[in-house]
């Protein structure tokens, strides 16, 4: 797993700026072939993950990014999204081949989850812009399979597929957005979904308003050195990306 590769620009809400493979009609037809749990409701936090900090003794080989402990996948490239104004990290995107997944964790109320409400907001925003958003049952429970509208250089409207996954945990909400090949091909999505399952969310004890982004940080020098043992560090090429999207906005 390599860290902090330089990107051309910030990942979009779907991370699709990081990976833009050609998607054929046959690929889009696979959107309904997820082989997923048919319950339609979010999976409870348990042995399958994602995990709460209280469920694990420590990172156990995961990369410690503060509020997220992320497991590496062979061949994966990790990109951190940085706010230009504050220089704070606002998101993590893992790229594997022609696929990507963006991870963000947010504070949530103690008494109820956020994912049901946020799904409606995301779907409404995408459809208002002329895209599509279908709620289906996925491997982590209810998810959105979307086609995001955009403009090609020649002015034509084009659509980028993306899958929005969400998990409600104890006082936190984890959002994962699959883009590229993983948005339409379950085989490509599987290793990234397993990475999401292996993720640990560290909520902390600080009082935070619901939907506040949980703070992320650079890994320690020791972690960075260990992960780059077979490859020189690329931190000198790392430049801040544009600010990542807020949880309820699609741009």
CB 120 within 8 A of CB 250: no
Closest C-alpha to 50, from 186, 179, 202: 202
Tokens of 36: 């997923």
Q: Provide, rounded to the nearest whole percent, the portion of the chain with pLDDT above 90.
A: 63
The 8-class DSSP code of residue 215 comes to P
Which H/E stretch holds residue 106?
Answer: strand 99-107
Q: Is the pLDDT of residue 232 over 60?
A: no
- What is the predicted pLDDT for the residue at 221? 66
- What is the predicted pLDDT for the residue at 5? 41
3-state helix, strand, coil in the chain (%, to 5): 20, 30, 50
Q: Is the pLDDT of residue 35 over 60?
A: no
pTM above 0.85, yes or no: no
Q: Is the pLDDT of residue 228 over 60?
A: no
Cα separation values, 126 from 101, 108, 131, 149, 248, Å: 19, 23, 5, 8, 11
Going from the N-terminus, what domains does the chain have, and what CATH number goes with each? 2-237 (3.40.1000)
CB 93 within 8 A of CB 81: yes
Cα separation values, 104 from 30, 69, 144, 156, Å: 26, 12, 16, 31
- Provide long-range contacts, Cβ within 8 A and 24+ apart, for 201-207: 201/50, 201/51, 201/52, 201/53, 201/67, 201/68, 201/105, 201/169, 201/172, 201/174, 202/53, 202/66, 202/67, 202/68, 202/69, 203/52, 203/53, 203/67, 203/107, 203/169, 203/170, 203/171, 203/172, 204/67
- What is the predicted pLDDT for the residue at 134? 98
Give 73's strand partners: none
**Mean pLDDT value across the chain:** 78
Count of H-run helices and E-run strands, the chain: 4, 12
The DSSP secondary structure of 27-75, one letter per residue, reads: HHHGGG-----SS-SPPPSSTTS-EEGGGSSS-TT-EE-BSEEE---TT
Task: Using pLDDT thresholds of 50, 70 and 90, give the confidence band for residue 48.
Answer: confident
Place of tokens 């080989």: 61
Letter string b/e over residues 216-238, b meaning 16 or more CB atoms within 10 A of that residue's CB: bebbeeebeeebbeeeeeeeeeb
Each residue of 129-178: pLDDT tens digit? 999 999 999 999 999 999 999 999 999 999 999 999 999 999 999 999 99
The 8-class DSSP code of residue 213 comes to B
228 φ/ψ angles, rounded to the nearest 5 degrees = -105, 20
């Amino acid at each position: 797993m390599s860290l902090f590769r330089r990107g051309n620009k910030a990942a979009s809400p779907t991370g699709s700026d990081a990976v833009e493979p050609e998607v054929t009609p046959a690929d889009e037809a696979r959107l309904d072939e997820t082989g997923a749990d048919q319950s339609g409701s979010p999976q409870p936090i348990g042995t399958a993950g994602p995990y709460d900090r209280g469920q694990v003794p420590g990172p156990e080989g995961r990369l410690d990014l503060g509020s997220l402990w992320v497991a590496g996948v062979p061949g994966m490239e990790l990109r951190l999204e940085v706010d230009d104004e504050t220089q704070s990290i606002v998101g993590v995107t893992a790229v594997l081949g022609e696929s990507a997944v963006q991870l963000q964790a947010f504070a949530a109320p103690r008494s109820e989850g956020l994912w049901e409400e946020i799904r409606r907001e995301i779907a409404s925003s995408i459809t208002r812009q002329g895209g599509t958003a279908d709620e289906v049952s996925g491997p982590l429970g209810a998810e959105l399979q979307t086609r995001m509208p955009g403009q090609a250089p020649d002015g034509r409207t084009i659509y980028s597929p993306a899958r929005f996954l969400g998990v409600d945990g104890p006082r936190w909400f984890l959002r994962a957005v699959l883009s590229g090949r993983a948005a339409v091909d379950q085989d490509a999505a599987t290793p990234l979904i397993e990475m999401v399952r292996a993720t640990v969310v560290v909520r902390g004890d600080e009082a935070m308003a619901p939907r506040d982004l949980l703070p992320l940080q650079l890994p320690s020098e020791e972690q960075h050195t260990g992960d780059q043992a077979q490859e020189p560090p690329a931190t000198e090429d790392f430049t801040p990306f544009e600010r990542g999207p807020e949880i309820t906005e699609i741009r």
